[in-house]
């Protein structure tokens, strides 16, 4: 019995790293994705080509590879590793990789959402004397949010599960923790990590359903 509660407590503790990575990624990738989206929609060709190329590379290669490269490449290329030794540095490196990766995915979702809102909406704002930013924040944004919500829900749920990839550079997240017990011949801790993910994803699903309901009052 004590064994069970001790192991569950340790798994929960490890899961905090997953949660941390999840929240940090959202915190930075959500706004960064918007910047990337505007970059790829820019009328300044070199900028849009550059941005689209970066997005293509990031979306076209495994996140796991990106984590490894971001963590090891600077040091091995003789540039000096920017990551501090220890757990903090490893989490930081993983966060950077996740933020870049997810910003690119979000940017494509944003782009589709923004381009999907009719030109007429922008023009209606323009002829009413609104500024570009007023049009974006007061007219377009909520319509974009409504349009992209289902795709964002998918992506965010994928992010929850992807956080376990951070163990590739020895971040002790929940699955890595459970594997310590697998090595000692215990399989149930590994199974129970699934429950953590299921609970988290379940909560998110409820949240997104609620949000979609909230925006159900208009058609975009």
Partner 1 sequence: MAILEVENLYKSFGQTQVLKGINFSLEQGQALAIIGASGSGKTTLLRCLNFLERPDQGVIRINGKVLFDAGDPATQREVEIRKKRLNFGLVFQSFHLFPQYTVLKNVTLAGELLAKEQSGRKAAQREIEEQARGLLEQMGLSEKVDAYPHQLSGGQQQRVAIARALALRPNILCFDEPTSALDPELTGEVLRVIRSLAEKKTTMVIVTHEMAFARDVADHIIFMDDGVVVEEGCPQDLISNPKEERTRQFLSRFSNESTWKQN
Binding site for partner 1 (CB under 8 A): 118, 120-121, 123-131, 134, 138-139, 142-143, 146, 217-220
174, 15 Cβ separation under 8 angstroms: yes
Residue 106 beta carbon to partner 1: minimum distance, rounded to whole angstroms: 22
CA 141 from centroid of its chain's CA atoms: 20
SS3 61: coil
Considering beta carbons, is residue 142 or 168 the nearer one to partner 1? 142
For 4, 7, 11, 46, 179, the CA distances from 187, given in Å and listed in that order, are 12, 12, 13, 53, 8
Q: CA–CA separation, 56 vs 76, rounded Å?
A: 25
Give me 152's structure tokens: 């964002």
Q: CA–CA separation, 105 vs 195, rounded Å?
A: 27
Q: CA–CA separation, 158 vs 110, rounded Å?
A: 17
Residue 115 beta carbon to partner 1: minimum distance, rounded to whole angstroms: 16
Half-sphere exposure of 25 (CA within 13 A, CB side): 30
Residue 44 beta carbon to partner 1: minimum distance, rounded to whole angstroms: 17
Give me 55's structure tokens: 């997005």
Residue 45 beta carbon to partner 1: minimum distance, rounded to whole angstroms: 17
What residue spans of 117-214 are helical by DSSP H?
Answer: 119-127, 132-134, 141-162, 174-183, 188-214
Considering beta carbons, is residue 45 or 219 the nearer one to partner 1? 219
Residue 139 beta carbon to partner 1: minimum distance, rounded to whole angstroms: 6
Residue 80 beta carbon to partner 1: minimum distance, rounded to whole angstroms: 45
Considering beta carbons, is residue 77 or 127 the nearer one to partner 1? 127
Considering beta carbons, is residue 59 or 138 the nearer one to partner 1? 138
Considering beta carbons, is residue 1 or 127 the nearer one to partner 1? 127
For 101, 163, 173, the CA distances from 90, given in Å and listed in that order, are 17, 13, 12
Considering beta carbons, is residue 19 or 142 the nearer one to partner 1? 142
């Amino acid at each position: 019995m004590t064994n069970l509660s001790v192991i569950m407590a340790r798994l929960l503790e490890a899961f905090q790293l997953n949660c941390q990575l999840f929240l940090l990624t959202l915190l930075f990738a959500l706004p960064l994705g918007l910047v990337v989206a505007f970059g790829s929609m820019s009328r300044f060709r070199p900028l849009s080509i550059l941005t689209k190329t970066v997005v293509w590379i990031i979306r076209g290669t495994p996140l796991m590879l990106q984590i490894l490269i971001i963590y090891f490449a600077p040091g091995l290329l003789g540039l000096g590793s920017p990551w501090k030794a220890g757990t903090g540095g490893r989490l930081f490196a993983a966060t950077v990789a996740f933020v870049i990766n997810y910003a690119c995915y979000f940017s494509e979702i944003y782009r589709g959402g923004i381009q999907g809102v009719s030109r007429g909406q922008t023009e209606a704002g323009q002829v009413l004397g609104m500024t570009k930013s007023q049009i974006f924040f007061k007219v377009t944004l909520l319509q974009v949010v409504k349009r992209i919500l289902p795709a964002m829900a998918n992506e965010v749920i994928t992010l929850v599960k992807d956080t376990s990839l951070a163990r590739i550079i020895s971040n002790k997240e929940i699955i890595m923790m459970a594997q310590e017990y697998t090595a000692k011949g215990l399989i149930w801790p590994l199974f129970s990590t699934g429950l953590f993910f299921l609970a988290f994803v379940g909560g998110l699903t409820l949240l997104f359903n609620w949000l979609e309901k909230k925006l159900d009052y208009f058609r975009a």
